[in-house]
Amino acid sequence: MENETTNLFRRRDTFFGICEAVGQDFGFNPLWLRLAFVAPLFFFPAETFVGYFALGLVVLASRLIFPAKTAAAAQPTLSTVEADAPKAEKAEELALAA
């Protein structure tokens, strides 16, 4: 299974990953968006492809302008003073208990 950080445009199980990217950005199952493209595909195939690739350009532009932050960058790091604070409190509690 591929990890979450794989580029959506390079995955083998999607068609450019456009519906998957929109689903991730807005928090819904991309299957619903894929199903929404099926019916118009039979009646207006050229317009459906144009709409799909226009949506792809919007997704590409949004990913380039607002890149996703990595998990390591999103988590704040503790300074040595903050990291030692719980140890000092616990040592003080132990001293009071004795």
68 closest CA partner among 36, 34, 21, 31: 21
Does residue 47 lie in a domain region?
Answer: yes
Question: What residues have CB less than 8 Å from 67, skipping those under 6 apart?
Answer: none
CA distance 55 to 48: 10
Per the prediction, the chain carries an average pLDDT of 74
Does residue 23 lie in a domain region?
Answer: yes
- pLDDT at position 1 is 47
Does residue 59 lie in a domain region?
Answer: yes
Dihedral of CA atoms 48, 51, 56, 61 in degrees, nearest 10, equals: 180
Domain residues for 13? 8-72
List, for residues 47-77, the tens digit of each pLDDT value.
999 999 999 899 888 888 888 776 545 555 5
| Number of domains comprising the chain | 1
pTM equals 0.55
